[in-house]
Amino acid sequence: MSIFTGSGTAIVTPMNADGSVNYESFKNLIEFQIANETDAIIVCGTTGEASTLTHEEHLDVIKYCVEVVNKRIPVIAGTGSNCTETAIYLSTEAEKAGADGLLVVSPYYNKATQNGLFAHFKAVADSVKIPILLYNVQSRTGMNIAPTTIVRLCEACENIVGVKEASGNISQVAKIAALGKGKIDIYSGNDDQIIPIMSLGGKGVISVLSNVAPRQTHEICAKYLAGDVKEATQMQLNAIDLIEALFCEVNPIPVKQALNLMGMEAGTLRLPLTEMEEATTARLKASMEAYGIL
């Protein structure tokens, strides 16, 4: 059974002015997501600035998210690392905290072989019982999880159930779908490819867009799944300019700025990420106004 179907929000981690986690704002963001029909929350992923959280902060944020959500929708915890032991530690602790599933990114910087990737993910999967989604994002990790490796992992590990595909390569998604024969849950990792990936059998999206437009992103998926492909496609196309604006600087810089513009108090970023530049902020603001969320 899939962890979720539809739109899962890769939620930001709001910060106070001193760089500490703003838990009050985080609760408000979670409630905003649930009130607007988000289908799942993905906590401590790329968008959640997990790479600059300490291990203690990382696990505290996961625990807090699980507590606030309180089983109303699934919570999927980002627990990947380029160190297998660290990924196992974060994954086992997230399971203890009550996460419904895990999102585990491929090891970055190390550039493991495909056999190394298999061994890494299998070791993580063997350490927990909850379901795992692989996270394939070559633009950030420097390496691709091959379709054959994804299928091999899903066949070897009962709790590796799918993949967040952010390669941008639709041909690769088609290959995963073909080799997986309907047994691998595929989620778009790119907001501009929700409909293309769902047309290949995808279950939905793990989304940055849904931080600021949760109901609209949910509706794109819901309408497609209900058979209204024309309307879902038009909604996808209507969001393209905003999606591009949300990535006109490296994620999550623009989405945090967008939430701040909406009065949602996402706060600052941790170095090496810096505040959005004036020209790109103007571009983002214009896109938000045109889309009707500002």
Q: State the alpha helices, DSSP H only, in 157-277.
A: 170-180, 194-199, 214-225, 229-238, 240-245, 253-261
- Active-site residue (options: 64, 71, 89, 164): 164
Q: Shortest CA distance to 77 belongs to which of 51, 44, 46?
A: 44
At residue 278's C-alpha, the angle toward residues 277 and 284, to 5°, is 90
Which candidate, 5, 6, 12, places its Cα nearest to that of 256? Answer: 12
At 260, list the tokens. 């701040």
| 183 labelled catalytic | no
**167 vs 145: CA distance, rounded Å:** 9
Is 135 a known active-site residue? yes
- How far, rounded to the nearest angstrom, does the alpha carbon of residue 139 sit from its chain's CA centroid? 15
Q: What is the CA radius of gyration of the chain?
A: 18
Q: Which residues pair with 75 in a beta bridge?
A: 41
Catalytic residue among 96, 108, 135, 230: 135
- The residue ranges of DSSP E strands in the chain, in sequence order, are 6-10, 40-43, 75-78, 101-105, 132-136, 160-165, 185-188, 204-207
For residue 83, is it left (φ>0), alpha (ψ between -120 and 50) or beta?
beta
Among all residues, which ones are annotated catalytic? 135, 164
